[in-house]
Amino acid sequence: MNTQKMIRQASIAACKKLNPLYLMKNPVMFVVAIGFILVVVLTMFPTMFGESSRLFNASVASILFITIWFSNFAESIAEGRGRAQVQTLKQTKTTTKATRILADGTEQMVQAEQLQKGDLVIVRAGETIPNDGEVVEGIATVDESAITGESAPVVKERSGDFSSVTGGTVVTSDWLKIEITSMPGDSFLDKMIRLIEGASRQKTPNEIALNTLLVSLTIIFLLVVVTLLPMANYLNISLSVATLIALTVCLIPTTIGGLLSAIGIAGMDRVTKFNVIAMSGKAVEASGDVDTLILDKTGTITYGNRMATAFLPVQGVTAQELMEMAWLSSLADETPEGKSIITLAEQQGVDQINKHHILQTATVIPFTAQTRMSGVDLAEGLQVRKGSYDAMIKMATHVPNDLEEVVKQVSSVGGTPLVVMRGRQLLGVIYLKDIVKEGLKERFAQLRAMGIKTIMCTGDNPLTAAAIAQEAGVDGFIAESRPEDKIAVIKAEQALGKVVAMTGDGTNDAPALAQANVGLAMNSGTNAAKEAANMVDLDSDPTKIIEVVEIGKQLLMTRGALTTFSIANDVAKYFAIIPAMLMVAIPQMKTLNIMHLHSPTSAIISALLFNALIIPLLIPIAMKGVRYQPMNANHLLNRNLLIYGLGGMVIPFIGIKIIDLVITPLIS
């Protein structure tokens, strides 16, 4: 959406939000609206309270209207940015046909909207997945760029953490049989659209607390203005009702009141730009206070599949011999581990010319839980196997002296040893490793610098867990953990008063994601994980929590900075206006009129105009957010007081004086 169109739509939306029932949601602006109505009445009936300056009343009413409209405009601009992203998502929700599989196995073409939860559909290459579901049969690549923006297709298959598929994505190869898990209109894509549009946005506890503060300040300043009237009468100073209303509006915290909603909406919008969908503003806000991050290992820290990284021959066997036999034993192995062995062997020079011929003439020996090995029987009678150390040594005629040492060496660093055998001869070990995702160590160092402790949870044994934890650079780990162990860790941290974030992608992570203050589920994971979390990372990058935390801190900083500015701003306006208002009746007050404002009328109009104009001028800061820099709380407080506190005191004096110089010739 271009900027001009967004501004035009926000302007229209700002007018629609002038409804008093809507304004009641913002107590500060509701007070301004009441003041506007009263001044309009005074403009229409200037003698009602003995007042006769219709022009002054009309000027005040106009400025109050602009103030309310600017507040609505700030919120509408923030919402408009989210709707621009929604349009992109809605483009994927075209009318889709689906091939439903009936109970007798026959296929039936239906509209996607007719599918119900539990229906089975088959989606072939080039077809769109009609709704969210779980793969029950088949393996295929799926283009998820419609929701993630990532062009590379991802592999989806039955079982595991990569069986979940999202409606609106496209199968690019082979086929998938899918069980539909969402009702029409309740898919993940539908939920994303509703969330970004802000239909379910609720105020966060911090925002509610700040609203309470703003209401309290508004009441205090109302009391100040009310007590000002009898004091003025005692001093024989005539103050009109319009003047008192104008003074009230200038003193109450209209600046932060007008920007508060925009700040919250913009925070949710910023996480969306990082391909993270926040289920509520509360989740974004809580992320700014995270102390501890709990991470699942498989699929989060590691890719989730063990990959071949080295061939380790025993004495008397060449590396080439071992590679060739490992390659032969894996030719018919369609598992990720088997494919990685083929890839590594071919990268290291194994000749693959006769691959298809070998497969056509060989007998495939599949892996079973009983034998714990797999391989092939070649046509010439040669048997090649790979499998666990315990299973393989039972079949061998001789166990090399150094084989056990090689197996222990691989196990000690968290790897999985697969022993290769030709006939009855043991040749060596294939080193399978759970691959840690690139760049994680540096990213975890960033989290540490932000004061966030990282803990890895894994079902692996302590030895493997320790090796992965060291390679990834986490602060601690829990080995052989079950779902209830993850919840126990989170509860223990929360009992210490800490805010806990959890990232995960599996069904077994769902309870912990629900328990954590911030639950970030990977989009590549299961529907159960995504349902339990309050954030979903469309890129399935566990370190995305760094950006989420920074945005959360930025949200809190922006709110605090603009609140500081607003309160300082109100105090400055108080000292700018009061002397100018009273200097006619009390000449001694001229000494305090340090800006030398022309008259009480020009002072009030200038202050009101500044009060209205400062809201749109601060919209860019509310939208972009105050730049986050890791620092301690005291340093941050001092910095905000210096920049936004001092700025809030100085800028009103400058702004009001400039406006006074401009309008004085017009009202003289």
Residues forming the active site: 296
Q: Is position 368 annotated in a ligand binding site? A: yes
Taking the chain, what is the end-to-end CA distance rounded to the nearest angstrom?
A: 45
- According to the annotation, is 448 in a ligand binding site? no
Q: Is there a binding annotation on residue 460?
A: no
Distance CA 5, CA 260 (A): 24
Token representation of residue 59: 């000027």
Q: How far apart are CA 659 and CA 598, in angstroms?
A: 11
Q: How many residues does the chain have?
A: 668
Alpha helices in 118-169 (DSSP H): 145-148
Q: Residue 516 CB: number of other CB atoms within 10 A?
A: 30
**Cα(133)–Cα(148) distance, rounded to whole angstroms?**
17
CA distance 167 to 119: 14
- Closest among 343, 347, 319, 318 to 330, alpha carbons compared: 343
Indicate if the alpha-carbon torsion angle 484, 486, 489, 495 is positive or negative. Answer: negative
Whether residue 333 is annotated as binding a ligand: the answer is: yes
Whole-angstrom distance, CA of residue 48 vs CA of residue 59: 18
Q: How many CB atoms lie within 10 A of CB 506?
A: 21
Distance between CA atoms of residues 490 and 512, nearest Å: 7
Report d(CA 307, CA 344) in Å as an integer: 9
How far, in Å, are 10, 44, 212, 314 from residue 35 at the CA level? 24, 14, 20, 89
Rounded to an integer, what is the distance from CA 111 to the centroid of its chain? 33
Element (H, E) at 255: helix 254-273
Structure tokens, 227: 């007590």
What DSSP line would sit under 158-173, residue for residue? Answer: SSGGG-EE-TT-EE-S
* 390 assigned to a ligand binding site: no
Known binder of ligand: residue 374? yes
Strands 133-137 and 164-165: antiparallel
The SS3 call for residue 176 is strand
Q: Is 373 annotated as a binding residue?
A: yes
Q: What phi and psi, each to the nearest 5 degrees, are found at residue 589?
A: -70, -15
505 marked ligand binding residue: yes
- CA-to-CA distance for 61 and 608, rounded, in angstroms? 10
Distance CA 387, CA 397 (A): 16
What are the start-end ranges of the E strands in 172-240? 175-180
Tokens in use for 289? Answer: 């206070």
Is 337 one of the annotated binding-site residues? yes
List, in sequence order, the alpha helices (H) in 19-123.
20-23, 27-44, 54-90
Say if residue 246 carries a ligand binding annotation: no
- The stretches of 348-433 forming alpha helices (DSSP H) are 355-361, 389-395, 403-412
Strand-strand pairing, 175-180 and 133-137 = antiparallel
**Residue 464 annotated as part of some ligand binding site:** no
Q: Give the distance, in angstroms, between the CA of residue 448 and the centroid of all CA atoms in the same chain.
A: 20
Binding-site members for Mg(2+) are 505, 509
Positions at the binding site for ATP = 333, 337, 367-374, 386
Residues marked as binding?
Answer: 333, 337, 367-374, 386, 505, 509
